[in-house]
């Protein structure tokens, strides 16, 4: 993967020149990402997620925003400690490592940081996984077959086996494509860790997400049978 840097008036972009040319990336940055993109269909509640076309590929642009209590006061600014320690650069490089291992994550296209004094704001661009829906969306639409629950569990175990910690493993960050292949997305604050009990915390976080989504769904959509299929996957 030919990794390149593009310096802008306010920061720097890290990008894969096989996925986007310097001229096209510079043009998009000059026009502005918002002006170059449209909201991601079905991304209700995911502010800052948009779609744009780069080098003939549909891509997802995600602007980094703070969540929870800190987000009430500082929406999208982070302390500047250098580009390589920015959230976008770190996620981009983690996706690059995952792709090199054959793990199902979006193709990383570009990571952007915009510095202003002691703070920065960041964006990441990845290729769109076509004809995909989240596990939460699939579960809300119809019952999910047990075999697909097993596939989801097997996918997560592959990531764990390679030490990939997903900081926000929930039903919205698990995508199923048209062939029911499983992908994980949104690796912000993710990292590679040594074996430990963090894997169980990952599973517990996912279980809480599944319980929350299924609370208002028809009986039988999610319960112990589905959880056992997911956790029992080899």
Q: Supply the residues annotated as catalytic.
A: 168
Q: How far apart are CA 62 and CA 51, in angstroms?
A: 9
User: Which residues lie below 8 Å from residue 151, measured CB to CB, with a gap of 6+?
Assistant: 180, 181, 182, 233
Owner of token pair 């062939």: 179
Pair of tokens at residue 155: 């996918």
Q: How far apart are CA 175 and CA 171, in angstroms?
A: 8
Query: Using CB atoms within 10 A of its CB, is residue 225 exposed (0-12), middle (13-18) or buried (19+)?
Result: exposed
User: Which residues lie below 8 Å from residue 191, measured CB to CB, with a gap of 6+?
Assistant: 90, 94, 165, 167
Other CB atoms closer than 10 Å to residue 148's CB: what's the count? Answer: 18
CA 138 to chain centre: 18
Q: How far apart are CA 162 and CA 41, in angstroms?
A: 32
Q: How far apart are CA 67 and CA 70, in angstroms?
A: 6
């Amino acid at each position: 993967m030919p990794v390149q840097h593009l310096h802008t008036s306010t920061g720097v972009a890290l990008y894969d020149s096989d996925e986007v040319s310097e001229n096209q990336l510079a043009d998009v940055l000059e026009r502005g990402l918002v002006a170059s993109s449209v909201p991601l269909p079905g991304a209700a509640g995911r502010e800052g997620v948009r779609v744009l076309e780069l080098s003939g590929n549909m891509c997802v642009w995600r602007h980094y925003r703070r969540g929870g209590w800190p987000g009430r006061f500082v929406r999208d600014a982070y302390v500047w400690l250098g580009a390589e320690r920015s959230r976008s650069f770190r996620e981009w490089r983690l996706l690059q490592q995952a792709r090199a291992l054959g793990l199902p994550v979006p193709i990383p296209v570009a990571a952007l940081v915009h510095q202003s004094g002691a703070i920065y704001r960041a964006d990441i661009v990845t290729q769109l996984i076509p004809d995909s829906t989240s596990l939460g969306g699939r579960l809300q639409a119809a019952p999910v077959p047990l075999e697909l629950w097993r596939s989801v569990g097997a996918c997560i175990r592959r990531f764990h086996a390679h030490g990939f910690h997903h900081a926000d493993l929930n039903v919205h960050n698990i995508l199923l494509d048209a062939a029911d292949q499983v992908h994980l997305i949104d690796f912000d604050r993710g990292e590679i860790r040594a074996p430990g009990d963090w894997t169980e915390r990952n599973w517990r976080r996912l279980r809480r997400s599944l319980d929350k989504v299924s609370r208002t769904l028809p009986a039988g959509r999610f319960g112990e049978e589905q959880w056992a299929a997911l956790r029992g996957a080899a």
